[in-house]
Structure 1
Amino acid sequence: MRAVVVHQTELSVTEVPDPRPGRGQVLLKVLRTGICGSDLHVRADADGSADIAAEVGYDHFMRRSHSVVLGHEFVGEIVSYGPGCRARRPPGAHVVALPLLRVDGEVHMIGLSEAAPGGYAEYVLADEDALLPVPKGLDPDLAALTEPLAVAHHAVRMGTVRRGDPAVVVGCGPIGLAVILMLKAFGVRHVVASDYSPARRALAERCGADVVVDPAVRTPWAELAGRKGVITSAPAYYGTGLETLHALRRSPLMPWRRIIRAAKRLGVAPRGPVVFECVGVPGVIEQIVSAAPFLSTIVVVGVCMRPDTFRPTMASNKELQLRFSFCYDPADFDETLHMIARGRIDARPLITGVVGLDGVPDAFDELTAGRQAKILIDPARS
């Protein structure tokens, strides 16, 4: 079969052996595969990613010297089953899959390991237990976005965003746009998006951002100034405590201590905006820590491959919560697929191109230059 292989940072379209499903595996005909920002990263610096993966116990992540078929965001059509499968769905059924494959008793990351070739190909192997049926009538273009939108779903859950909380998305590349879509799908009423690129700002608007800013002209934090509950200085923060005591000491209902404790239990205590870092460039976390309002929750979604620093004292003074989001769990994945199918998310603005296998090298150049958001691969397209 034809596939796109990366080796020593070079992409090439070549013939590779047809995959054969092993125990518990399913052979899929690839309908669409998304090009992920992670694919751009590992093409340029696979060894850096592999070193990190090895430190957390995964020794099979691809390296620069390996020859790997990329692609972990795919939707496919069932062709056949390997031994030991239950074959719950008939050949021809459309499915998406968690990009994990058991091979000889070990779990591999599909599209990021030599042992688990990915979806930049005509066919791909998936684990039967990882399959989710695509709801009837769902366009393969949209089904292929399940994986990246599941990443956003997980990040938004990690931020514990409430509908009335202001949310700030820093960086409107594919993952930032996915976070905007998911925030609006969850009913968040005020989403501020920030990016230097006019094209990405336009996409952020199409994805539902309520306010879009060019940080070279106006910061996203200026858009929050004056909003109720947004605290931007230490005197205001300390003053809030005094004002609360002043009001509560006059209440005849119960002691002020009990009122404050009850408010905390009910989740109505003061809290700042929820900020999503979707850039993944050194220095951005420090910029956010320095500029974000007091009590903000910062969810780091961008993948920064180089060492970085920020000032913990600044974060402590503001009582910021800093969280790091990586991927998703099976429930995130399943819920995301059904959100897409039910129309709770209109993900079409994310798709800025569809190419065949021969168009993948040029698509990488377009994505690396920031001229596109999400490009899908259709292996049947010439």
Structure 2
Amino acid sequence: MKAVSCLHSTLEVVDLPAPRPAEGQLVLDVLRCGICGSDLHAKDHADELTEVMAEGGYHDFARSDTPVVMGHEFCGQVAERGRKVGKEFRPGTTVVSFPLLRAHGGVHLTGLSPKAPGGYAEQVLAEAALTFPVPNGLDPATAALTEPMAVAYHAVRRSEITGKDVAIVLGCGPVGLAVICHLKTHGVRTIVASDFSPGRRALAQRCGADVVVDPAEESPYEAVPAGQRGLTELPALYEVGVGAMEKLRRLPGWQHVYRVADRLGGTAPKRPVVFECVGVPGMIDGVIAAAPLASRIIVVGVCMGDDKLRPAMAIGKEVDLRFVFGYTPLEFRDTLHLLADGKVDASALVTGTVGLAGVAAAFEALGDPERHAKILIDPAGTATAP
């Protein structure tokens, strides 16, 4: 079969043996596979990621000196079933799959390990237990977005955001745009999106952002409607606290009133939920410094290098910092059905498609945020440029 191999930062179409399914596995004919930001980074900086993953105990991540077939955002048709695979996966069934694979005595990251070749190929292996039939005739291009949309769905769920909260999304690449799509579906009434790129800001509006800003011209925190802004300076919080207590202490049994107000959330300052979707050094510390007091910060962007922050700043402002990664199998399944049922509209994300011969050109094109957001690979296609 044809596949795109990455070796020493070079992408090349090669011939590889067709995969064979082990017990409980499927061979899929790949219909579409998305190019992820982690793929872009792994192409040139795989060894940095390998070191980080090894510290976490996983020693089979992609290396620059070992050929790897990337691609973990794929939709395909069942071509062959291994033993003990259920009848729901008849040949020809269109499916998406959670990108983990049993192979070589362990479980490996599909498309991010040489031991689990990914979807930049005509065929890919998948675990039947982690594979889901595509419902409602959902088109393969949209179904292939299940994986990145599941990342965003997990981030929104972990944020515990409500419809009344203000959401601020920093960075409108594919992950930020996916977060905006889910926030809109979740019923969040005020979504502020920030990106330097005019093209990305336009896509953010298509995905549901209510306010878009160029951070070079305007702070996303100041772009929040006046009545919904939080306190940004500690002296203002101190003044509010002292003033409130001056009034409360005039009441008999003031502590009981305070307890009721506290239980109902009336004593906490207004604060946004901030989604950091950029993932470059300095972003986390910058958000902590600029965001209102008591902000909840969800770190979605994956910073591949070393970073630093000032704990005293985070402590003094009492920010809530949450890191997110991946998704659960149930979130993956539910994301697929949200897309298939039309409850989440991710149509704005896909900006181009290439065949296997066009993957290298697609990687280059994705370096320009004005040109593309998400490019899909169609292994049967002939396009050499997105």
Whether TM exceeds 0.5 here: the answer is yes
What residue number does 1:179 align with? 179
Cα deviation, residue 263, structure 1: 4.5
Task: Say if 1:196 and 1:266 are closer, same or farther in 2 by CA, change over 3 A.
Answer: same
Task: Say if 1:263 and 1:143 are closer, same or farther in 2 by CA, change over 3 A.
Answer: farther
What residue number does 2:337 align with? 338
Cα deviation, residue 251, structure 1: 5.4
Cα deviation, residue 136, structure 1: 2.3
Do the aligned partners of 1:224 and 1:230 also contact (CA within 8 Å) in 2?
no
Do the aligned partners of 1:245 and 1:256 also contact (CA within 8 Å) in 2?
no
Tell me, what secondary structure is at the counterpart of 1:338? helix
Cα deviation, residue 284, structure 1: 1.3
Task: Say if 1:151 and 1:369 are closer, same or farther in 2 by CA, change over 3 A.
Answer: same
What residue number does 1:36 align with? 36
What residue number does 2:145 align with? 145
* 1:314-359, Cα deviation, whole Å (9 max, x unpaired): 1111111111111111121111111111111111100000111111
Query: 1: distance between equivalents of 2:132 and 2:178?
Result: 21
Cα deviation, residue 14, structure 1: 1.3
Tell me, what secondary structure is at the counterpart of 1:88? helix
What residue number does 1:2 align with? 2
277-286 or 65-74, larger mean C-alpha shift? 277-286
Cα deviation, residue 299, structure 1: 0.8
Q: Number of paired residues?
A: 380
Gaps spanning 5+ residues in structure 2: where? Answer: none
Cα deviation, residue 214, structure 1: 0.6
Aligned runs of 1:101-120 on 2, under 5 Å? 101-120=101-120
Query: 2: distance between equivalents of 1:229 and 1:273?
Result: 8
Query: 2: distance between equivalents of 1:247 and 1:29?
Result: 69
Query: 2: distance between equivalents of 1:181 and 1:311?
Result: 32
219-228 or 273-282, larger mean C-alpha shift? 219-228
Query: 1: distance between equivalents of 2:257 and 2:22?
Result: 61
Report % sequence identity.
53
Tell me, what secondary structure is at the counterpart of 2:348? helix
* 1:243-281, Cα deviation, whole Å (9 max, x unpaired): 4434544556xx443444444445555241011111111
What residue number does 2:272 align with? 273
Aligned runs of 1:84-233 on 2, under 5 Å? 84-224=84-224, 226-228=226-228, 230-233=230-233
Query: 1: distance between equivalents of 2:273 and 2:4?
Result: 39
Tell me, what secondary structure is at the counterpart of 1:294? coil
Query: 1: distance between equivalents of 2:164 and 2:8?
Result: 48
What residue number does 1:257 align with? 255
Task: Say if 1:133 and 1:260 are closer, same or farther in 2 by CA, change over 3 A.
Answer: farther
Do the aligned partners of 1:81 and 1:87 also contact (CA within 8 Å) in 2?
no
Cα deviation, residue 227, structure 1: 2.7
* Aligned residues: CA RMSD: 1.6
Query: 2: distance between equivalents of 1:368 and 1:104?
Result: 35
Query: 2: distance between equivalents of 1:75 and 1:266?
Result: 45
Cα deviation, residue 242, structure 1: 2.8
Cα deviation, residue 130, structure 1: 0.3
Gaps spanning 5+ residues in structure 1: where? Answer: none
Query: 1: distance between equivalents of 2:250 and 2:331?
Result: 46
Do the aligned partners of 1:274 and 1:298 also contact (CA within 8 Å) in 2?
yes
